[in-house]
């Protein structure tokens, strides 16, 4: 090969290594937000800020709900037994403390709940005056301020009703939810290592064992789900990852009886992955997690170039390495071209996620190809031994029948017919909740906690905009009026809103006028009985949100008050309510954010879009094959098409819902499967070595990705089932459509 190519690629590789060192020392930014896969024009930046704030506030919190005959005593036992250094208690909120009272007291004549407002507007003055007098005569009455300033005790009632919107009450140093005790903890710093060890679960299980039998202890929180996912992933990596790696090493060793082929194939694959990663980091700034997941499967395609080279070296030991590679280059280049052409179809979409996947994969394959082309003849200095394993494998090519004429037509019709039956049973499902693979007991506990204490949903909320603070609060009040109807219909348990505590300026003026009118009337009615003059009306300033943000209530309100919008959190909305909430977008400045629905819609768009592009990918690849093979081009592509159809049919027969991850696997199947057909067609006279290369590549891919089918993570399982079935079929079917020439060599020897 041209030495200048070797020098040029060596220089590029040196730069690539330097960039990889920079990335893995902290320069690599990995994006995990699925909405980042959408075009920026279709994303709501404020909604994303709100989602990040909510996620950050819950990321480290663990909640425990204890219910027993003496919940307080059981909570003390639990807390005493929780001696782990992983968690620290969260300070209790001061929802009705002196600090909040002091902050709101100067604005008390502007604060009314909806119930208070309705009562003042409808209740006769005589009835209100009698209530005021009765309350005044009760020595234990919880009055705040002078009677004449608030004869109806509207301000204390406002505080009680505002605090009552949550089921949680601070009582004697503990948070109570009915008869249950709520304990809240926060993960300490970086103590949550997520190294695959269930430390947090074990610590909580030990504490649960300390309570009296029969006591219900529910545990929940994001850290528990994260730890469960880490434990599961670690177990699967150990069984699937290391198991498949060991099997691949053994197969490569039996085939070549030398570590050199394996190391050089790993070098070519590694250079491809590194190049793809660097290209995405340089062009996009960040690399999305989906790109890494999909791009990591590049191994199954990139390894074929190196394996094919060594299979040919083994079969023809007396041929000069440079001349051999020159002979192999047209076929390898065509395999590269068809794969890259498929990824180019992804790059033309407006979705940045697909473009990033296309760039990672395309650049990665080119880098792997150049590594084989530029370095292998120089680094592969020794001989590649003949092995019994390789000879038997190559010789097995002669046992495959060649389909011609009527038998071939019957075979195609039957296989596609079976595929159609299975595909007809497919039920597309893009609901992201279907991908949930957390332990059922953890999901049930989290759901029960949310219901019992009224936790708001972090996945569905309303975003309320306005020109200024007053308009935002006014628009939020209009939304609250609609949400109250859902509560009355028992479709919603409640909601958290800033305007629960801080009315809009317009509402504050209305409240002040109503309170002044009613208070004056009540004091006038009681003037003779109290023998006191009616004081002048209070002169107060409007209450602003910033006043409450500086109090202990600020921690609860701050996630609801963004720079340019309000967030209204929802408590236990029903499915029926979620389906109707989008209609409230008609209100001024109101937008319903459904994180679950948005991600599900995104997955549907990807699934449908990638399926359409997959069809285009077949057309583009067939055009490239036709340029090389002319009328024989269909022989290279048809096995992959049938394998893809049968793989989908198998998914249908298994009763699994069709998701985006099945379609992603079909893309990879197209990239790899067509390579097998190309190698067999390109080297019709050397069928033994071509069959060995195809077989080693297929088995390696099966062991790398087909075993993912046993994963308990639904997305990974779907990927593994589709790819495992498809690769097996295309591997075994490809030789059926490539008849052996009379003088074809089916041995691995020269």
Cα(698)–Cα(730) distance, rounded to whole angstroms? 9
First to last CA, the chain: 22
Contact by Cβ (8 Å): 343, 358:
yes
Output phi, psi for 650, to 5 deg.
Answer: -60, -40
Contact by Cβ (8 Å): 186, 64:
no
| Residue partners of 744: CB distance under 8 A and separation at least 6 | 684, 685, 686, 687
Cα(704)–Cα(698) distance, rounded to whole angstroms? 10
Residue of 510, 509, 537, 539 whose CA lies nearest to 523: 537
Cα(384)–Cα(312) distance, rounded to whole angstroms? 10
pLDDT (tens digit, 9 = 90+) per residue, 664-691? 889 888 888 898 899 888 887 778 888 9
Beta bridge partners of 463: 567, 591
Place of tokens 């305007």: 499
The domains of the chain are located at 61-91+180-230, 96-165+504-542, 258-433+599-737
| Residue partners of 640: CB distance under 8 A and separation at least 6 | 669, 670, 673, 674, 676, 677, 730
Question: Quick check: helix, strand or coil at residue 468?
Answer: coil
What pLDDT sits at residue 43? 60
What pLDDT sits at residue 234? 67
What pLDDT sits at residue 531? 64
Angle at 565 between CA 96 and CA 113, to 5 degrees: 35
What pLDDT sits at residue 747? 56
Do the strands 287-288 and 30-31 form a parallel or antiparallel pair, or are they unpaired?
parallel
Chain centroid offset of residue 379 CA = 42
Integer angstrom CA distances of residue 390 from 30, 302, 387, 711, 747: 42, 21, 5, 32, 9
pLDDT (tens digit, 9 = 90+) per residue, 341-393? 877 777 776 667 778 888 888 899 999 999 999 999 889 887 888 888 888 88
Output phi, psi for 484, to 5 deg.
Answer: -60, -30
pLDDT (tens digit, 9 = 90+) per residue, 608-659? 888 888 888 899 899 989 988 889 999 999 999 999 999 999 999 999 999 8
pLDDT (tens digit, 9 = 90+) per residue, 21-69? 988 887 777 776 655 665 655 566 777 777 677 666 666 788 889 998 8
Question: Quick check: helix, strand or coil at residue 92?
Answer: coil
Contact by Cβ (8 Å): 10, 373:
no
Cα(214)–Cα(445) distance, rounded to whole angstroms? 16
Integer angstrom CA distances of residue 576 from 206, 443, 446, 487, 585: 40, 21, 21, 12, 16
Give me the DSSP letters along 667-700. HHHHHHHHHHHHHHHHTGGGHHHHHHHHHHHHHH
Angle between helices 633-653 and 714-733 (to 10 degrees): 140
Chain centroid offset of residue 507 CA = 41
How many other β-carbons are positioned within 10 Å of the β-carbon of residue 553?
A: 23
3-state DSSP: the chain helix, strand, coil percent, rounded to 5?
A: 70, 10, 25
Residue of 560, 561, 565, 583 whose CA lies nearest to 485: 583
How many other β-carbons are positioned within 10 Å of the β-carbon of residue 348?
A: 11
Contact by Cβ (8 Å): 286, 31:
yes
Cα(140)–Cα(118) distance, rounded to whole angstroms? 27
Cα(478)–Cα(588) distance, rounded to whole angstroms? 9
| Residue partners of 590: CB distance under 8 A and separation at least 6 | 462, 463, 464, 465, 475, 478, 479, 584
- Long-range contacts: 73-76, Cβ < 8 Å, 24+? 74/181, 74/211, 74/212, 74/215, 74/217, 75/174, 75/181, 75/183
Q: Taking the chain (750 residues) in consecutive chunks of 10 residues, what is each chunk's mean pLDDT? A: 84 93 80 61 67 69 87 87 78 63 86 89 86 71 69 85 74 78 79 65 87 88 78 67 69 86 88 90 82 65 85 86 90 87 74 80 91 91 84 87 88 95 92 72 83 78 92 94 92 89 92 88 77 69 87 79 89 88 92 84 84 88 90 93 96 92 87 87 82 87 76 79 93 88 54
| Residue partners of 21: CB distance under 8 A and separation at least 6 | none
| Residue partners of 575: CB distance under 8 A and separation at least 6 | none
Question: Quick check: helix, strand or coil at residue 386?
Answer: coil
Do the strands 180-187 and 494-496 form a parallel or antiparallel pair, or are they unpaired?
unpaired
Chain centroid offset of residue 219 CA = 23
CA-based Rg of the chain, rounded to a whole angstrom? 34
Helices (H), ranges, 23-124? 45-58, 71-81, 98-104, 114-122
């Amino acid at each position: 090969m041209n030495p200048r190519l070797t020098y040029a690629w060596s220089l590029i590789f040196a730069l690539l290594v330097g960039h990889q060192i920079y990335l893995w020392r902290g320069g690599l930014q990995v994006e995990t937000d699925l909405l980042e896969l959408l075009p920026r024009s279709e994303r709501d930046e404020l909604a994303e800020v709100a989602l990040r704030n909510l996620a950050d506030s819950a990321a480290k919190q663990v909640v425990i709900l204890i219910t027993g005959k003496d919940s307080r005593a059981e909570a003390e036992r639990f807390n005493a037994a929780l001696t782990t250094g992983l968690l620290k208690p969260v300070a209790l909120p001061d929802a009705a403390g002196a600090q909040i009272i002091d902050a709101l007291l100067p604005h008390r004549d502007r604060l009314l709940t909806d119930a208070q407002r309705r009562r003042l507007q409808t209740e006769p003055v005589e009835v209100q005056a009698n209530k005021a007098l009765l309350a005044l005569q009760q020595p234990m009455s919880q009055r705040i301020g002078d009677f004449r300033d608030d004869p109806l005790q509207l301000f204390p009632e406002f505080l009680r009703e505002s605090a009552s919107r949550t089921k949680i009450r601070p009582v004697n140093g503990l948070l109570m939810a009915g008869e249950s005790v709520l304990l809240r903890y926060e993960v300490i710093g970086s103590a949550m290592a997520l190294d695959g060890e269930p430390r947090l679960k074990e610590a909580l299980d030990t504490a649960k064992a300390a309570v009296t039998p029969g006591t219900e202890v529910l545990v929940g929180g994001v850290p528990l789900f994260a730890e469960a996912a880490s434990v599961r992933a670690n177990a699967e990596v150990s069984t699937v990852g290391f198991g498949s790696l060991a099997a691949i090493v053994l197969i490569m060793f039996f085939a070549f009886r030398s570590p050199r082929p394996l190391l050089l194939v790993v070098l070519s694959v590694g250079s491809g992955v590194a190049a793809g990663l660097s290209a995405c980091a340089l062009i996009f700034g960040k690399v999305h997690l989906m790109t890494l997941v999909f791009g990591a499967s590049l191994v199954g395609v990139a390894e074929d170039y190196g394996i094919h080279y060594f299979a040919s070296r083994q079969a023809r030991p007396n041929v000069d390495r440079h001349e051999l590679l020159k002979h192999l280059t047209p076929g390898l280049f065509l395999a590269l071209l068809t794969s890259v052409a498929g990824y180019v179809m992804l790059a033309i979409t407006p979705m940045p996620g697909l473009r990033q996947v296309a760039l990672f994969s395309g650049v990665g394959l080119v880098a792997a190809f150049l590594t084989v082309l530029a370095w292998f003849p120089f680094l592969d200095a020794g001989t590649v031994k003949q092995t019994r394993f390789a000879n038997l494998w190559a010789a097995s090519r002669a046992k495959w029948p060649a389909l011609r004429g009527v038998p071939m037509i019957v075979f195609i019709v039957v296989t596609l017919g079976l595929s159609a039956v299975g595909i007809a049973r497919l039920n597309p499902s893009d609901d992201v909740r279907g991908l949930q693979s957390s332990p059922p007991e953890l999901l049930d506990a989290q759901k029960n906690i949310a219901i019992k204490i009224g936790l708001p949903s972090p996945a569905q909320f309303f975003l309320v905009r306005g020109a200024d603070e007053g308009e935002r609060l006014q628009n939020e009040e209009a939304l609250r009026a609609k949400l109250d109807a859902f509560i009355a219909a028992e479709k919603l348990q409640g909601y958290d809103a800033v305007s629960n505590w801080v009315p809009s300026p317009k509402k504050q003026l209305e409240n002040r006028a109503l309170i002044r009118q009613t208070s004056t009337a009540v004091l006038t009615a009681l003037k003779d009985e109290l023998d006191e003059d009616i004081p002048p009306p209070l002169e107060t300033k409007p209450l602003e949100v910033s006043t409450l943000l500086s109090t202990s209530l600020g921690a609860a309100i701050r996630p609801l008050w963004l720079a340019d919008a309000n967030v209204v959190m929802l408590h236990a909305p029903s499915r029926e309510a979620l389906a109707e909430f989008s209609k409230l977008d008609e209100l001024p400045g109101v937008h319903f954010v459904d994180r679950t629905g948005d991600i599900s819609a995104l997955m549907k768009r990807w699934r449908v879009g990638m399926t359409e592009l997959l069809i285009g990918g077949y057309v583009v690849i067939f055009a490239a094959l036709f340029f090389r093979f002319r009328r024989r081009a269909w022989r290279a592509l048809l096995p992959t098409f049938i394998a893809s159809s049968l793989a989908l049919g198998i998914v249908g027969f298994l009763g699994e819902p069709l998701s985006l991850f099945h379609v992603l696997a079909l893309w990879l199947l197209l990239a790899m499967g067509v390579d097998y057909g190309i190698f067999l067609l390109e080297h019709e006279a050397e069928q033994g070595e071509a069959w060995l290369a195809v077989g080693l590549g297929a088995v390696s891919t099966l062991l790398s990705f087909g075993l993912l089918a046993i994963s308990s993570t639904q997305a990974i399982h779907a990927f593994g089932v589709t790819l495992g079935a498809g690769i097996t079929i295309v591997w075994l079917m490809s030789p059926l459509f490539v008849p052996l020439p009379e003088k074809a060599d089916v041995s691995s020897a020269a």
